[in-house]
A and B are shown apart, each in its own frame.
Chain A
Amino acid sequence: MVNLAVDFCGVTLKNPVTTASGTFGSGMEYGEFFDLSRLGAVTTKGVANVPWEGNPTPRVAETPSGMLNAIGLQNPGIDVFLERDLPYLAKYDTKVIVNVCGHAEEEYVEVVEKLADEPADLLEINISCPNVKAGGIAFGTDPKAVEAITRAVKAKARQPVIMKLSPNVTDIKETAKAAEAGGADAISLINTLTGMKIDVERRRFLLANRTGGLSGPAIHPIAVRMVYEASHAVGIPVLGMGGVRTAEDAIELMMAGAAVVAVGTANFHDPLAAAKVVDGIREFCVKHEIRDVRDIIGCV
């Protein structure tokens, strides 16, 4: 028997695998492909205090071993989310991580307050969206702002708070420490890296937003490096993500220091990607006679 369960800031996940916010909706679409109870947790698409329309299209573009997206955080707002999406996820034997977005401190806090008595196990605060001008990356790249927003959210949150950090910074250790100083229970990284693609035939930007966030296997080595650096800079647990497609990719992030790993863009390549990562981690442990998956966290 291999133990795959991990404790993540006081919440027990049956295995260390979740989905990356924005790549899995609220689970409904992929719930038609597999039983979501196979996952340690489901992380939902960013939700704001009111519905957000998002950016004009084209919103996505493929790049070598990855993609750019500039969705702009389209979401139905917290009220619809509470009425429709959370009850759907509550039917599964999996933990729910609700990803929260906002343009300003009050907006984040409003969402967090509305989640207080809801069946959400953890909150992930997105302060690192590269596709929304105010509120996204603006919060996530300045350590002082990271600390302030963390403190404001922590003051109201009933659930443990994960601050989602931006990789679009010179030193990830600084923002990681700022989140810890603000009282974060955990950090998650990496969000997407800002990129751009040009249609050379038409001499035009491919994305309507001009820039977009790069994700997928192309960013995996950056994620491994940043998870390693961040996890050594702070004492709080790390949720690692960025380009995970296989169990080996997930294990790499765990060995770099992540306690839990999220599968994102890979879901688009294979709807079963996240479930296969769980199975693959189990097989890896069996093969290497690892009795407890927690033994590999930060083992390098």
Chain B
Amino acid sequence: MQKETGRVVSQKKIAEDIFDLRIRTSAAKDARPGQFLMVFTGDESRLLGRPISICEADAKKGELRLVYRQMGAGTRALAALAEGGCVELLGPLGNGFPVKDFQDRRVLLIGGGIGIPPLVGAAWQLSRPAFAVGYRSESYLLEDLERIGEVLAATEDGSLGTRGNVIDALLALEAEPKAGGAGWLTRGLCPEVIFACGPMPMLRAVAAYAKERAIPCFVSLEERMACGVGACLGCVTKTKETDGHSHVKNARVCKEGPVFDSREVAL
């Protein structure tokens, strides 16, 4: 792996501040769902890469899809890229979701906010995926999700699906499953494993939900990063047991993660 220059195939704004970027890059070759890239902004005064999850990877075409929210100066520069533009990137990095271990299982993919994109790529590699996603108000990527599996949605303002968060939606469904539902989730079957990505309060609630039902749960974490490759120890998360690298209780999100078994991290 090397830092390389990707070419923008297309970029679309798909919701307020949310961009859908396709890049031609050899990093697409070995990308696994749940891995991420360090994306550089093209401005040398911004030294550090921005960690962005891989939404989908097409190894044959050599294309990666990133879906991201414009937050600060770096993602703003990224949003200004047009077809044919160049972007420096490093990746794929990190471990990714354990899709191989749960290929034929009922996997519930729970996403909130800008945590939804990596679930798309993960779901394509599973035979029985179902989604539970939470938005503030405006939804995005919904069509992509519906193409892959059944989708349970929640919005804070109630404009789509259950009013509230994803857990509210799951609890409502548990209380009142739909016998003629589209898939195993809506019919009231319990998931066999959960993959989740989203803001920390959501991840905590998801981990608690999984623990109560004794379902294995894998969460993708966010932390501020400098190197993205495990060298600087900037991006650690608290673990319950001694970590294998520094022999304290701090695993590197960029290297041992970003996906962790929720029982192994102190969320």
List residues of A whose CB falls within 8 A of some B CB: 22-25, 28-30, 32-33, 45, 51-54, 57-62, 64-67, 69, 71, 74-77, 80, 216-217, 265-272
Establish whether residues B45 and A65, one from each chain, have CB atoms under 8 Å apart when the complex forms: yes
Which of B113-121, B150-158, B176-184, B247-255 contacts the other chain? B247-255
| Bound complex: CA A62 to CA B48 (Å) | 7
Q: What residues on B are CB-neighbors of A64 within 8 Å?
A: 45
Q: A65-B47, A271-B90 are in contact. Are A71 and B233 (CB under 8 A)?
A: yes
Q: Besides the contacts A22-B233, A59-B236, A60-B232, what 4 more A-B pairs have beta carbons closer than 8 Å?
A: A29-B229, A29-B231, A54-B236, A59-B234
How far does the alpha carbon of A74 sit from the alpha carbon of B247 in the complex, in Å? Answer: 9
| Contact between chains at B223 and A69 (CB < 8 Å) | no
Closest 8 CB pairs of A and B: A60-B234, A25-B231, A76-B247, A29-B231, A53-B248, A60-B226, A58-B224, A29-B230
Chain B residues within an 8 Å CB radius of A76: 245-248
- A8→B67 CA distance, assembly (Å): 50
C-alpha gap A45/B227 in the complex (Å): 14
Closest chain A residue to B230, Cβ basis: A29
Q: Is the CB of B233 within 8 A of A24?
A: no
Report how far A23 CA is from B231 CA in the complex, Å.
6
Sample of 13 A–B contacts (CB below 8 Å): A25-B232, A25-B233, A29-B231, A33-B1, A51-B246, A53-B250, A54-B246, A60-B225, A64-B45, A65-B44, A75-B246, A77-B247, A268-B47
On whether A30 and B226 interact (CB within 8 A), knowing A80-B247, A265-B47, A270-B3, the answer reads: no
Min Cβ gap A104→B in Å is 20
Give every chain A residue within 8 A of B246 (Cβ-Cβ): 51, 54, 74-76
Contact residues in B for A45 (Cβ distance below 8 Å) = 233
A257 to chain B, nearest CB (A): 26
Considering the chains assembled together, what is the distance between the CA atoms of A69 and B232 in angstroms?
A: 9
Cα separation A162 to B227 with both chains bound (whole Å): 26
The listed residue (A80, A269, A272) touching B40 by CB distance below 8 A is A269
Q: Is B46 an interface residue (CB 8 A)?
A: yes
User: Are B245 and A268 in contact, CB atoms less than 8 angstroms apart?
Assistant: no
Nearest-Cβ distance from residue A88 to partner chain B, whole angstroms: 13
How far, in whole Å, are A120 and B55 apart by their CA atoms in the complex? 44
Q: Are A57 and B237 in contact (CB under 8 A)?
A: yes
Contacts of B47 in A (CB 8 A): 62, 65-67, 216-217, 265-266, 268-269
Task: For the complex, give the distance between the alpha carbons of A25 and B230 in Å.
Answer: 8
B227–A29 touching, CB < 8 Å: yes
Roughly how many angstroms separate A68 CA and B183 CA in the complex, as a whole number?
49
Provide the residues of chain A in CB contact with B228, threshold 8 Å: 268
> Which chain B residue shows the least CB distance to A266?
B47
| Interface pair A59/B247, CB less than 8 Å apart | no
A residues less than 8 Å from B44 (CB atoms): 65
